[in-house]
Homo-oligomer: A and B are copies of this chain.
């Protein structure tokens, strides 16, 4: 009961945290029809700086870390990515009005990871003083790439089956082989993962402390606040697209972040008991799972699953999944970690 009250207070207080406030503020301005917008090149720059900051810090701290500890959570991150995409495909495909490729693309996007949501969760843990392992940001690609690759592979299998069914005498050259390695490499080359990896490498191999302390760390909070405004505006604008597709996408987008987070929280708890994975690390693993990709995921899936309807998968992720994850997921799993561990 005390826990419920304390979570209720935290949840209400959550609307006062700047991160969530800026997200809701952006949504509110867009809802009021404001012409407020942040230029696209500035958005890309802000994302680059945030990911470099996360990467640099991870890289600097990994130097003294025992990387054997990373193995189990990294394996779990891959497993969670597979569960989310495969489970999402099966669940969504059964719903009326949802085509298999759209089900797969949506599940893929919810399995992939949002750098901005992850940054918001890290800032939240820093603010309340809950510690986490230095290498947690290195878990990002394990879950992100697994989800994107699995979604693209599943979608190609589905498309090939349909092609066969539709046209039994289809020319053989149309049946392309699925090159998993190419999809993995292409994901790693995306701008978001590249910035994170660059930051990790520089943090690990150079001594970027002066530039980290004088620039990347001080601007982190401000840049994240602006990113939240952009995401809020985008979330509202995408809502109109979502109205044009089956309502089941919205239902999925409300439930999925919390369910995915809960699954990951469970795996995190196992790692906590087996290898001493920190409570903060468990929260961040849960948020990795609860978040859905907003930067590199959408273009990757558009290119990789060209027959899927972007209004469905991007709309449900951006306008419902991400706000739910930030507004409810972050305080929920943080509070859960306080109670459970």
Q: B-contacting residues of A (Cβ < 8 Å)?
A: 15-18, 20-22, 25-26, 28-29, 32-42, 44-45, 48-49, 127, 185, 188-191, 194-195, 197-198, 201-202, 205-208, 210-211, 214-216, 218-219, 221-226, 229
Contact = CB atoms under 8 A, between A and B. Distances in A.
Contacts of A197: 29
B35 A44 contact: no
B45 A202 contact: no
Contacts of A185: 33
A49 B215 CA distance: 14
Pick from A22, A36, A41, A207 the residue with the most CB of B within 10 Å. Answer: A36
A189 B42 contact: no
A32 B189 contact: yes
B207 A17 contact: yes
A308 B190 CA distance: 35
B202 A33 contact: no
B32 A39 contact: no
30 contacts: A17-B207, A18-B208, A18-B211, A20-B206, A25-B202, A25-B206, A29-B198, A32-B189, A33-B189, A34-B198, A35-B189, A35-B194, A36-B194, A36-B195, A36-B198, A39-B44, A41-B41, A42-B42, A42-B44, A42-B45, A48-B226, A198-B229, A208-B225, A211-B222, A214-B221, A214-B222, A215-B218, A215-B219, A215-B225, A218-B218
A202 B22 contact: yes
Given A29-B198, A211-B18, A35 B191 contact: yes
Given A21-B208, A41-B42, A208-B225, 8 more contacts: A16-B205, A16-B206, A18-B211, A28-B201, A29-B194, A33-B189, A35-B194, A39-B41
User: Main secondary structure on chain A at its contact with chain B?
Assistant: helix
A18 B210 contact: yes
Given A45-B38, A194-B35, A218-B215, A16 B189 contact: no
B202 A18 contact: yes
Contacts of A33: 185, 189
B215 A221 contact: yes
A221 to B, nearest CB: 5
A45 B36 contact: no
A205 B14 CA distance: 11
Contacts of A205: 15-16, 21
Contacts of A211: 18, 221-222, 224-225
Contacts of A215: 218-219, 221-223, 225
Contacts of A45: 38-39, 42
